[in-house]
Structure 1
């Protein structure tokens, strides 16, 4: 058999053995990984929502990239971007090879599980004011109880003006909370399933308890409305045309005595978005034109105008093709000559729950970026099943560039499963494979990653963008 070591396979006679980055990397590589993850940690701490993530990237990249609309013609080296409704970002860079020879795409998603307020959310009960919420994406509802929550809001008024609000992230600001039942009264709750014991309709966020003087009914609600009006100019009816999200408050933190890991909100899938963005800008003169696309709504099925199924991708590519001096009839040829990575996270084996994994086919924490051949569930249901030829192509690139990588899958065949946006890329007849960072406690308010895996993901994406064939 062979040993997975430093991104290349070496002959062994006994077993397929994974080696972690901290074990085999030189000191310089370890320092580079830690420094890279410091930047990642700070960026995610400041950019927890789709809108802020897109804006955050454009803020730091403003000197290196221009809107596609500002280009009349595109030539090698030109770097551009397009956005879609403030929640989708596509970065592009024209390579030295003719566009007709194909492109290199890395596509991730920047939405994460959270709580969104309902259309008519504000109410008072027993002199406490609440906001009713929907949960967004697949969550374990009990994990969101009693933790400090921050509020991110985009309020759009009837005249079209917007108000951006963030409350709960800065020192001294208030946070918000959802209560839980005390164990002393939990006898009946304990007899229920997790789904029954924690109903979605109970995910109501407490936002105040002081009554307004002079009011006879809903006095606490009246006081909250006064605060919203005085501080932000918001009326209750303005909440109808708003996007208000509650996410875990606080910054991403180093985890472990050795600081080898990162604990924070939204790493699924912002870790892949951030690493692909950094790789995109760090490959200055690619052979093939490179594209880094970040989409919305993956966690709720990719059905809207800002999702991977939107025609936005096709519209942008048509414009790129025309400005590169070709006809849009060449779209088919260009796309079929292209290659793509669906940049999404995968699980790693959790020793506390070994029974749900196939140990032989599950990635390990700290052993590198995860190359996921099969997604979906119940066998290969929902998988894009990339070809053996394309898997070999990706392996060769990673090994040539000494990328620390490992194969993986989400769990036992009939234990569950999960899908990605890969299917919406592959439908264009683009060779596509899932490849991303391994995550523990996926979809929890605070997810755990290894710094070695985060940095390996960046190196993998950089190698993909740099490939000359």
Structure 2
């Protein structure tokens, strides 16, 4: 795959993934195009050697894997997340000053003013009543239907010298004039269903800006949801690129989990048993010894892929001068003394060697000593799947803004690094010891 193709596919994923449910649906389309079969957690599983499968939970988390031709000797896994900070609609109505508003509350830690004065759409999932019971439908009203208007400077002369935003006061969206068509009706029309068939819903405000390249030669790109759909798309491309060349002794696994931005403590988040449940079921469906799971975990490795902070050119003092990270500098490996990132000397060395052999540039990141690190997936997933893990990411600016900035070259670097990871032969010889070989095909 050429770098331009990587970027085209990434942009497709960013456009489609307006909500976690839409991101999972887009990932499922890519997997099915590559020959993966959907399974349901509620069904009995018959897994064939060499079979390719995926399963979803809550419609907002997804795990895909390939069954090796022989006994599973380990798991080779990449995890990312499907959610991003934003505004979720409440099941309520609000009228003020002759206007209808869409009552919202914040999801995750966002940069609030970046949502002001921009056209906003609405998307999410709806549970509908059918002849057979309840069914889930995805909806995306991809046109301007709301706006969060700023307070004019004449009423707040201090707005350019600092303002504390109150979500209940400052950030409630204007929808239409009092008595206008309710948002519920608009959603029903978009689905082509009678309004009375809608039983419940989860709806989000969405930014309508398309992913665009910027810079004299298009070196950077701007888009909503780069954190973390940038990693999700690039790792999925790497997973599929390496599909035919994966280490034959390990089961390759790709996962995109929900609710990272609010702590991952849901049944579909990284703190849940979702991935471990799947591992147990996979081993139950194929012959293995009583010690099979323990041995497989000991010979496993995980990439926790969640975006990283590039050094900001306007605020370089916010980053540790000893570990600068630049846009376009390659995949970032993240370290933290308090273990907010799960990288260790061992896991960092293994991933660094894989990238070195594949010719993929790597950068190393640590926060300033007086700035606490953010949380991510790796250390939480380790509660149920305790395997060596390295936290990596794409460098970006404006993390948690309504529109973020990243470098085009880094997306292709991530795809190549992940593809090399799945192709590499990693053999655990003991605690902290392994052999590492590169397979024949490289890019």
User: Do the structures match in fold with TM over 0.5?
Assistant: yes
The residue aligned with 1:418 is: 374
1:109 paired residue among 45, 68, 81 = 81
Rounded Cα–Cα distance in structure 2 between residues aligned with 1:396 and 1:228 = 50
SS at match of 2:149: coil
**Is 1:352 matched with 2:311?**
no
The residue aligned with 1:160 is: 134
The residue aligned with 1:248 is: 207
Deviation at residue 199 of structure 1 after TM alignment: 3.7
Deviation at residue 345 of structure 1 after TM alignment: 0.7
1:44 paired residue among 14, 22, 36 = 14
Q: 1:73 to 1:164 in 2, by over 3 A?
A: closer
The residue aligned with 2:245 is: 285
Q: 1:132-169 deviations in whole A, cap 9, x for unaligned?
A: 101111112111111111110322246624443222x3
Q: Is contact 2:117–2:150 with CA below 8 Å preserved after alignment?
A: yes
The residue aligned with 1:135 is: 106
The structure with the largest helix share of the pair is 1
**Is 1:334 matched with 2:296?**
yes
Rounded Cα–Cα distance in structure 1 between residues aligned with 2:392 and 2:207 = 27
The residue aligned with 1:177 is: 147
SS at match of 1:418: coil
2:57 paired residue among 39, 59, 84 = 84
Rounded Cα–Cα distance in structure 2 between residues aligned with 1:137 and 1:326 = 42
The residue aligned with 2:351 is: 394
What number of residue pairs does the alignment pair up? 414
Q: 1:288-343 deviations in whole A, cap 9, x for unaligned?
A: 21100110000001111111112221221111112221257522221122111111
Q: 1:61 to 1:222 in 2, by over 3 A?
A: closer
Q: 1:299 to 1:231 in 2, by over 3 A?
A: closer
Deviation at residue 459 of structure 1 after TM alignment: 0.8
Q: Is contact 1:142–1:198 with CA below 8 Å preserved after alignment?
A: no
The residue aligned with 2:46 is: 72
- The residue correspondences of 1:145-294 to structure 2 (distance < 5 A) are 145-157=116-128, 160-167=134-141, 169=142, 173-187=143-157, 194=163, 196-209=164-177, 219-221=178-180, 241-283=200-242, 284-287=244-247, 288-294=250-256
Q: 1:234 to 1:418 in 2, by over 3 A?
A: farther
2:399 paired residue among 419, 442, 447 = 442
Rounded Cα–Cα distance in structure 2 between residues aligned with 1:113 and 1:263 = 16
TM-score, structure 2 as length reference:
0.86
Deviation at residue 385 of structure 1 after TM alignment: 4.8
Deviation at residue 94 of structure 1 after TM alignment: 2.6
Deviation at residue 360 of structure 1 after TM alignment: 2.0
SS at match of 2:206: strand
Rounded Cα–Cα distance in structure 2 between residues aligned with 1:228 and 1:103 = 42
Gaps of 5+ in 2: 427-443
Q: 1:456 to 1:97 in 2, by over 3 A?
A: farther
- The residue correspondences of 1:7-26 to structure 2 (distance < 5 A) are none
Report the RMSD for the aligned CA atoms in angstroms. Answer: 2.5
SS at match of 1:268: helix
**Is 1:300 matched with 2:262?**
yes
Rounded Cα–Cα distance in structure 2 between residues aligned with 1:384 and 1:119 = 36
Rounded Cα–Cα distance in structure 2 between residues aligned with 1:403 and 1:223 = 51
Deviation at residue 124 of structure 1 after TM alignment: 1.5
Q: Is contact 1:90–1:293 with CA below 8 Å preserved after alignment?
A: yes
SS at match of 1:360: coil
SS at match of 2:240: helix
SS at match of 2:140: strand
Q: 1:245 to 1:282 in 2, by over 3 A?
A: same
The residue aligned with 1:62 is: 32
TM-score, structure 1 as length reference:
0.82
Rounded Cα–Cα distance in structure 2 between residues aligned with 1:275 and 1:223 = 38
- The residue correspondences of 1:446-461 to structure 2 (distance < 5 A) are 446-461=403-418
Mean CA deviation greater in 82-91 or 421-430: 421-430
Structure number with greater Rg is: 1
Rounded Cα–Cα distance in structure 2 between residues aligned with 1:383 and 1:186 = 39
The residue aligned with 2:433 is: none
